[in-house]
Structure 1
Amino acid sequence: MTAHSSAVDRQEPQGATSAAAARDLTKTYGTGDTAVAALRGVTADFGHGTFTAVMGPSGSGKSTFMHCLAGLDRPTSGQAYIGGQDISTLDDRRLTRVRRDRIGFVFQSFNLLPTLTAVQNILLPLDLAGRPADPARLATVVDSLGLGDRLDHRPAELSGGQQQRVAIARALVTGPEVVFADEPTGALDSHTAATLLAFLRRSCRELGQTIVMVTHDPIAASYADRALLLSDGRIVDELNDPTADAVLGAIRRLAA
């Protein structure tokens, strides 16, 4: 790596103290008459230790936005930053390293390996990276998620809610700068969902975790510090300390 390329990689945007940031992100799929603009110049900051819900109707660009921020998809133009590093220009090898070392993912599908125990699934990202676990952080995450008596169980021996908690523990145990969660409660009953959302909120307060969550559920969004509403590839509204009613009202205004 040259000195020049390192400086480019670490170029810092305004608000470089943010855990994640987007600057004028665009994403277009296809070309010519069939081109579809999924993102149209999105700019946002996600501060350390904050919990943000990203919402919007189907096709609004919310999942594309999260995927570009998390390095799962490349923007057509603009920049995506993790901790001040522009990840939108990294080659695949370095982008893979950033995703492994600095980002956690929680998806609606749990993606647990059926032959591994819960604790082996939780520690898998560290094992793949050749990094030792921090025993204190592992204990905190496991205890906070109520998984202490399930660590030796395989996924088939766990309920759906327990499997999702294992998936969340796996995302948090590495101490990532940002956790991206895509509809993490979509497959859960309301009680289990509320328990998980409360933990996510607590992880921001107690562990300093930054969480960006895509959701369609106003109740889930009410656990966040703020809600960003997307429509037609743009941020059209922002609610701080959102309530479920306020989010529902904002969504209804979008549909009007």
Structure 2
Amino acid sequence: MTSTSVEPPETAAAPAVTATRVTRVYGTGDAAVHALRGVDVAFARGAFTAIMGPSGSGKSTLLHCLAGLDALDGGGVRIGDVELAGLGDRRLTLLRRERIGFVFQAFNLLPTLTAEQNIRLPLDLAGRRPDPAWFARVVDVLGLRDRLAHRPAELSGGQQQRVACARALVTRPDVVFADEPTGNLDSRAGAEVLGFLRASVRDMGQTIVMVTHDPVAAAHADRAVFLRDGRIVGDLHRPTPELVLDRLKALGG
């Protein structure tokens, strides 16, 4: 069975991320799990894409392969014009630090640092100074101006995730990968974080690729891509919660 190729619409910007015939297998022999089976997919620059599918469909594995966090067993991934397979460990680390942002379900903030220090951390590790105008814009888009001096324990869950989003955006990455970013939040805080991610695409031209199981979260995206059994099986532009839920039901998710 051949994979389904999913491309962005013709009017979209050139891809920020491209996966070509990506395969990932865990284990060997009879115990082998084929997490990804020849995935072809491109993610347009300046767009918000949700990756969805039933449990075990391969959506988080795909995100990790796209971000260079997991090795490929076949195929290739490009971030812009850079092929990840051709990079050594040091260059891959630098690419993730400088051109990729990450937001995970766990906020991963350092408890002893203030919100501002957590946001600046990727720049500090890279020995770079923040662009004052860009830093101010990120902080204002995420509504964190009056929380910069607070430590994580003094922030709500939603505020901590907004700090994590700001940390992902502060380096002006080519793409932000978000893995279930609202999974630990209540519905109100989750909606706020999704609204801020949406605003970063609309107002700042950011590219976001998000794994989610939530049809309401996916409805904040420009596009939803669906996986089942390690293959791309669908593509939905301008998703609504109802359309996404119907598609997931059809997939058995």
TM-score tier after normalising by the smaller chain length: over 0.9
Tell whether 2:194 aligns with 1:197.
yes
After superposing on structure 2, the runs of 4+ consecutive aligned residues of structure 1 that deviate more than 2 Å are none
| Equivalence for 2:84 | 87
Distance 1:75 1:90 in 2: 13
Distance 1:137 1:21 in 2: 27
Distance 1:87 1:71 in 2: 7
| Cα displacement (A) at 1:180 | 0.1
Distance 1:17 1:82 in 2: 11
Distance 1:116 1:84 in 2: 35
| 2:137 counterpart SS class | helix
Residue pair 1:125, 1:170 contacting (<8 A) in 2 also: yes
Tell whether 2:64 aligns with 1:33.
no
Tell whether 2:234 aligns with 1:220.
no
| 2:20 counterpart SS class | strand
For structure 2, the residue ranges without an aligned partner over 5 or more in a row are: 1-11
CA deviation vs aligned residue, 1:50-85 (integer Å, no higher than 9, x gap): 000000111100000000000000110000110121
| Equivalence for 2:167 | 170
Distance 1:16 1:158 in 2: 37
Residue pair 2:19, 2:41 contacting (<8 A) in 1 also: yes
Alpha-carbon RMSD across the aligned residues, in angstroms, is 1.3
CA 1:223–1:16 in structure 2 vs 1: closer, same or farther (change >3 Å)?
closer
Q: Which is worse superposed, 167-176 or 187-196? A: 187-196
Distance 2:51 2:39 in 1: 12
CA 1:81–1:16 in structure 2 vs 1: closer, same or farther (change >3 Å)?
farther
Distance 2:13 2:240 in 1: 29
Distance 1:131 1:28 in 2: 38
| 1:149 counterpart SS class | helix
Distance 1:89 1:39 in 2: 20
Distance 2:30 2:88 in 1: 30
Q: Please point out which of 100, 113, 117 is paired with 1:116.
A: 113
| Cα displacement (A) at 1:231 | 0.2
AA aligned to 2:34 is A
| Equivalence for 1:24 | 21
Aligned length: 242
CA deviation vs aligned residue, 1:94-153 (integer Å, no higher than 9, x gap): 110110010000001000001100000000000000111011111111111111111001
Distance 1:65 1:77 in 2: 13
Tell whether 2:166 aligns with 1:135.
no
TM-score, length-normalised on structure 2?
A: 0.93
Tell whether 2:98 aligns with 1:101.
yes
Distance 1:103 1:252 in 2: 32
Q: Please point out which of 170, 184, 192 is paired with 2:181.
A: 184
Distance 1:150 1:16 in 2: 35
Residue pair 1:16, 1:83 contacting (<8 A) in 2 also: no
Residue pair 1:218, 1:248 contacting (<8 A) in 2 also: yes
| Equivalence for 1:208 | 205
Distance 1:241 1:149 in 2: 34
| 2:213 counterpart SS class | coil
| Cα displacement (A) at 1:16 | 10
Residue pair 1:114, 1:155 contacting (<8 A) in 2 also: yes
Distance 2:13 2:49 in 1: 18
TM-score, length-normalised on structure 1?
A: 0.92
Distance 1:227 1:58 in 2: 16
For structure 1, the residue ranges without an aligned partner over 5 or more in a row are: 1-14
